[in-house]
Amino acid sequence: MAHLLNTSFIPSSQSLRRNATSSAPPLISGRRSRAQVQAKIREIFMPALSSTMTEGKIVSWVKSEGDKLSKGESVVVVESDKADMDVETFYDGYLASIMVEEGGVAAVGSAIALLAETEDEIAEAKAKAGSSSAAPAAPAAPEPLPEKIPDNVGPAVVPKAAATVAAVASTHPASEGGKRIVASPYAKKLAKDLKVDLGSVVGSGPLGRIVAKDVEAFAAQPTVAAAAETSVGKSATAVAAEAGIQLGSVVPFTTMQGAVSRNMLESLSVPTFRVGYTITTDELDALYKKIKSKGVTMTALLAKATALALVKHPVVNSGCRDGKSFTYNSSINIAVAVAIDGGLITPVLQDADKVDIYTLSRKWKELVDKARAKQLQPHEYNTGTFTVSNLGMFGVDRFDAILPPGTGAIMAVGSSQPTVVATKDGRIGRKNQMQVNVTADHRIIYGADLASFLQTLAKIIEDPKDLTF
């Protein structure tokens, strides 16, 4: 769902002249005078797209300076701490001046553009923007930085002939040959990796925006796919250069990395403890092989099993935010950690205990696609009540996870591996087993709570008939 831009009034010289010649008392300087003026030029503010967002990055301007805008029309794509979102305008008018260019960062509530009510006031708005940006113009100096150290949400890399910073002066940073190219950060990164010219790709996203699947489809063509194979056998320096990495450089955090950093620091203030458990997965593996062809994923099976176990142990699904009380959450929403380009996000499978495994699997695939395109809405990533982090697909046998702020527990899942075990009749046998480790908030969850929860989880996984009802 697109968000609306906040705006405020700025008095134009025309409206000031009308007030000066009227019979009303003289205007009082300061804030009160602003309320008495019928404004014609409005500031467009950086919106708060989530409760944790303190600043936003301009991914792309959907509209150009001078374009006519209608209320509810998308104007700019903003990167919050977790996703990219199309932002709409509250008012009709003209986009008079862009004050924060693509790739620029602005604090929530600060002006990023000016909106003029009529075409006649565009020039005046540009003048106001020029005067207001005269002082803070110095921070614009680091703008060439993405040429040396591109971050994960910066402008798409265009052919080397366009790499000169001076060439950017006459065209918009997200343009190629004067033509605006709007693409998701992941699509830009993917295009760079696959050596795909974004100018040749037709976007299927909102307003023609290029998303990852568009780049993948274009790269699948023989001539493009062949170009992507040239990185094999190259030195580390060459590979890093192709990936847009300059070895030895210092790279500032992206907006998402900054949010992850703040959350991890907040987690340090929570007293946590860890409990591990070994679970036999033979029956779960057999079930997965049986229903995999129907679109079921192992992630969905683990989320479903976890949710059913949490039904019987509500304290493990609880959360504490103020250090003085805790909440027994009314829903069981399983957040699953997903690594994406430039960071980490936790899409949420809501009411996982109530949704059937087939619907849950379809929903999970949808969430992953949206996460990698950075199109998740806030309720799709910030409503988790219990988190699962799975590194088993990488062959990791065990690890510990850091507790997300405000939740009671997170479970780290390792890979299922063949293990020699003693059977009940005293013989030696082989079973597939995985290690799970739960990190919990010790203010509200105790060792016995986790032990009991893990016993329940093990029973569900070792006899998974309830997962498909």
Q: Where are the alpha helices (DSSP H) in 342-393?
A: 357-372
Q: Cβ contacts of residue 34 below 8 Å, gap of 6+?
A: 9, 10, 11
What is the number of alpha carbons within 13 Å of residue 203 lying toward its C-beta?
18
Q: Cβ contacts of residue 30 below 8 Å, gap of 6+?
A: none
The most distant pair of C-alpha atoms in the chain lies apart, rounded to whole Å, by 103
Instruction: Say if strands 272-280 and 428-441 run parallel, antiparallel, or are unpaired.
Output: antiparallel
| Distance from C-alpha of 378 to C-alpha of 179, rounded to nearest angstrom | 31
**Active-site annotation holder among 3, 172, 379, 442:** 442
Q: Cβ contacts of residue 119 below 8 Å, gap of 6+?
A: 94
Q: Any catalytic annotation for residue 442?
A: yes
Distances (CA, A) of 153 to 36, 253, 424: 41, 11, 56
What is the number of alpha carbons within 13 Å of residue 226 lying toward its C-beta?
2
Among 47, 60, 55, which residue's Cα sits nearest to residue 252?
55
Catalytic residues: 442
